[in-house]
Structure 1
Amino acid sequence: MSLIDDLLMTLAPDGVPFYTLAEIATTVPGLSGKTKNDFSDGNARFVSYMNAFANLAVDQMAMDFVKVGPGEKQNELRKGDVVITGSSESVDEIGMSSVVIEEPAEALYLNSFCFALRFENSALLLPGFSKYLFRSNVVRDQIRRSASGVTRINISKPRFMKVRIPVPPIEVQREIVRILDQFTQLEAELEAELEARRRQYDHYAGLLLTNDENVLRVKFGDVATIVRGASPRPIQKFITDASDGVPWIKIGDVPARGKYITGAAQCVTPEGAAKSRRVSAGDFVLSNSMSFGRPYISKIEGYIHDGWLAISDFDASFAPDYLYYLLRSAPIQEEFARRAGAGTVKNLNAEIVRSVEVPVPSMERQYRVVDLLDKFDALVNDLSTGLPAELGARRKQYEYYRDKLLTFTEAK
């Protein structure tokens, strides 16, 4: 920190200038006029929603392709562009950023669910500095306030462009990037080790759950009731704080890597509930949004919108914990993805889920498998022990120093 303090005293003794995004940047929209077919056998790379959401820096070699014809007018990304995810089901996850660190070696496009922020003076901010700045709490808090919505949260670009950011001298930016890169490198090494453990777990779980040829296999819809959720519209009309409101379950109500739905942030009126789909405690819900095909077990009675599928009446064939592991397993997830089709928006409808063949072993075997997987799952997912705990501690340390390094005294 002392070197940064010395640089600031020398280069910005009166403080660091702050600018609204509107003063120094413009927005660039993503792909337009594309259909689902354009994302099959594409000829040009594009940045998917999940690429932007998951990475500080855009992964330019991700295998996401779209058809772009000769002379077609689409915006290409450039070095220094900050990709912003424009919508989400959760306020906490809205407006995640990913930066184009290097000039693309070939044309690189952006999906229509995101937009890019482009600085008018490309020398104003180092791309490496932007990747940390736009993920810092001081900027993310402003971005969250620029969004609104109920079922789907969307950024208002006019409000977004009022976000104020610090622009310290380049030498200060460079030193901050050097320090934070060291933190993220350590974190990346831990993440790689944990990911290797999880792949090992997924392989082992897949063998336990789906690889026994002597086990009866049936279509899932023959042993469970699978139905799509439903949304009363306009949903704003039915959201309520009244005492007779009932839980309205959204993806944002489930913690990352969570298993259970234990509550809901919002409620709908009884009239809204009558136009929706009820789930009971013990029922499963399956996501068809960002966490595509991810199962959750509801511990509450509530109502789900049409971005969810509800699964019930499986008790005669499955122990709940076994079904949870089965639906999460790589073979089943891969089958969901294959049947849902290619492209940026996959459609995991009830008919697809009903048609997938699943094994139905004896209850005795199911409980044995659950006991084994519970122990293995704790090793790779329990945040209180082992690698997940160490990674969590590193991440908190990084976030603390990131926010401290990116907090500046504003020039008067």
Structure 2
Amino acid sequence: MINIITKSLNDINIEWKPLGKLLIRTKGTKITASQMKELHKDDAPLRIFAGGKTFALVNFDDIPKKDINREPSIIVKSRGIIEFEYYDKPFSHKNEMWSYHSKDKNINIKYIYYILKNQEKYFQNLGSKMQMPQIATPDTDKFEIPIPPISVQTEIVRILDTFTALTAELTAELTAELTARKKQYNYYRDKLLTFKEDEVEWKTVEEIFYLKNGYTPSKSESKFWENGDIPWFRMEDIRENGRVLNDALQKINKIAVKGGKLFSENSIIISTSATIGEHALVTVPYLSNQRFTNISLKEEYQDHFDIRFIFYYCFILCNWCKKNTTVSNFSSVDMNGFKKFKFPIPPLKEQARIVEILDKFDALTNSITEGLPREIALRQKQYEYYRNLLLDFPKVQE
């Protein structure tokens, strides 16, 4: 069907028209973020859009009747994250945004939406020239749209709607599978790491480990950051590269190191402030920022532990951290309690057995975790390929 459409278009002279001449542009309603929050009711029928994914649900009499749009429309999110959204129920939006609808029976408004969605990067690049990314009404009003026959517009919308639904369905199925596998993994991990009080020896964190706080070298001293080769870890490293780290996204120069001493390899970094309860094993000498508490085995305990066993038991420690926080300007872990948290010391052979099992579970979970975005990305690329193919109209040079 796609080939039939694209081939048939080769014989048609496609007219291009500015968006402002094709559609009716509407303004929003004068409302602040605090008013949206105050008026919001979970079961209210009218949606008011703000930037990004933000919206409020309000009653029809909460805003002026003239500001309510009841036509299927394209909403232009013109500030911050510049994007387009299609909506076909009654709505309004903040007045720094605008929307378009059509009264022309020869225009399928959702076809125009797909054209604009396909050009989001163009508008985002246009808006990036401003200090606060934004576009103005002339940017969309003057943007030219190819207008094939209404029958072609409708068929393009049908195909792209189908692709969108299939992509969403696949994402939901794979995400559900991943969630189930993770729950299964967490259950068996916690079961393997559960010991009776009198079954093994127990020691506190402060008995077993050296504890060191991370820090951030002065950003105003460019020499600290130029030509650096020392890994300096932040939460972004765990988010980007997982829980076993051998390199950092940012590096610092050796002159930025306090006392000239790095944190030792095979240490565990644990986030104990701001974002709490994340951890990773670092396999190289390094530094970290102040959000991390860094723990490394004392010499007298290095023959008592497999570092991978400690890594896995830190999932138990991190769960404890999430439940034991203090709040000031931002959340932080109760460090007195943290130091008293106890680690079990099972025989090394038992540690090795547990590590072997959890490594296998971890590999399986990670393969699914990596496979999910890979599969979704593949489907998304396939979708974008066909969308580009369908919406790539030749423009006749006058």
What's the TM-score once normalised by structure 1's chain length?
0.59
- Residue of structure 2 aligned with 1:320, choices 307, 317, 321: 307
Normalized per residue, the structure richer in helix is 2
Report deviation, 1:336. 1.6
C-alpha deviations, 1:223-251, integer Å up to 9, x for none? 22233211123356345343x65333333
CA drift at 1:207: 1.5
Please say if residues 284 and 311 of structure 1, whose CA atoms lie closer than 8 Å, have aligned partners that are also in contact.
Answer: yes
The residue type paired with residue 403 of structure 1 is E
Q: Contact conserved, 2:232 with 2:250, CA < 8 A, in 1?
A: yes
| In 2, Cα distance between equivalents of 1:175 and 1:250 | 44
Partner of 2:349: 364
Which has the larger Rg?
Answer: 2
Aligned residue in 2 for 1:399: 380
Cα distance change on mapping 1:228 and 1:84 into 2, 3 Å:
farther
Residue type at the aligned position of 1:13:
I
CA distance in 2, matches of 1:85, 1:347: 31
After TM superposition, give the deviation of residue 44 of structure 1 in Å: 8.3
Instruction: List alignment gaps of at least 5 residues for structure 1.
Output: 33-42, 46-55, 61-77, 87-94, 106-115, 148-155
Superposed, which structure 2 residues align to 1:15-34 within 5 Å? Answer: none
Judged with a 3 Å threshold, the aligned counterparts in structure 2 of structure 1 residues 324 and 80 are, in CA distance, closer, same or farther, namely farther
The alpha-carbon distance between structure 1 residues 393 and 234, as it changes in their structure 2 partners (threshold 3 A), is closer
8 Å CA contact retained: 2:82, 2:124:
no
Instruction: Assess, with a 3 A threshold, how the Cα gap between structure 1 residues 313 and 82 changes in structure 2: closer, same or farther.
Output: farther
Residues 97 and 118 of structure 1: CA distance in aligned 2, closer, same or farther (over 3 Å): same
Q: Distance in 2 between matches of 1:358 and 1:7?
A: 72
Q: What is the identity, as a one-letter code, of the residue corresponding to 2:99?
A: N
Alpha-carbon distance in 1 for matches of 2:244, 2:117? 33
Determine if the alignment matches structure 1 residue 195 to structure 2 residue 182. no
> How far apart, CA to CA, are the structure 2 residues paired with 1:85 and 1:300?
42
Whether the aligned pair in 1 keeps the contact of 2:167 and 2:379 (CA below 8 Å) is yes
Report the equivalent of 1:309.
Answer: 293
Letter of the structure 2 residue corresponding to residue 190 of structure 1: L
1:219-238 maps to which residues of 2 (within 5 A)? 219-234=204-219, 237-238=222-223
**Which amino acid in 2 is paired with 1:295?**
H
The answer to whether the Cα contact below 8 Å between 1:247 and 1:303 also exists between their aligned partners in 2 is: yes
Aligned sequence identity (%): 17
Is contact 1:4-1:175 (8 Å) kept? no
Distance (whole Å) between structure 1 residues aligned to residue 212 and residue 6 of structure 2: 59
Q: Residue in 2 aligned with 1:49?
A: none
8 Å Cα contact 1:228/1:350 also seen in 2:
no
What secondary structure is seen at the aligned counterpart in 1 of 2:215?
coil
Is the aligned partner of 1:249 residue 2:233?
yes
Instruction: Report the Cα distance in structure 2 between the residues aligned to 1:81 and 1:341, rounded to whole angstroms.
Output: 42
Structure 2 unpaired stretches of 5+: 35-39, 43-51, 57-68, 103-108, 148-152
**1:139 aligned partner:** 121
Shift of 1:375: 1.6
Q: What does residue range 85-104 of structure 1 map to in structure 2 within 5 Å?
A: none
1:360 is paired with a residue of what secondary structure?
Answer: strand
Equivalences for 1:10-409 in 2 at 5 Å?
Answer: 13-14=14-15, 119-121=97-99, 123=101, 133=117, 139=121, 146=128, 158-159=132-133, 161=135, 172=156, 175-213=159-197, 214-234=199-219, 237-242=222-227, 245-254=229-238, 256=240, 258-274=242-258, 278-287=262-271, 292-313=276-297, 316=301, 318-329=305-316, 332-340=317-325, 347-349=331-333, 351=335, 354-355=338-339, 357-362=341-346, 363-382=348-367, 387-388=368-369, 391-405=372-386, 407=388, 409=392
SS at match of 2:294: strand
Report the RMSD for the aligned CA atoms in angstroms.
5.6
SS in 2 for 1:210: coil
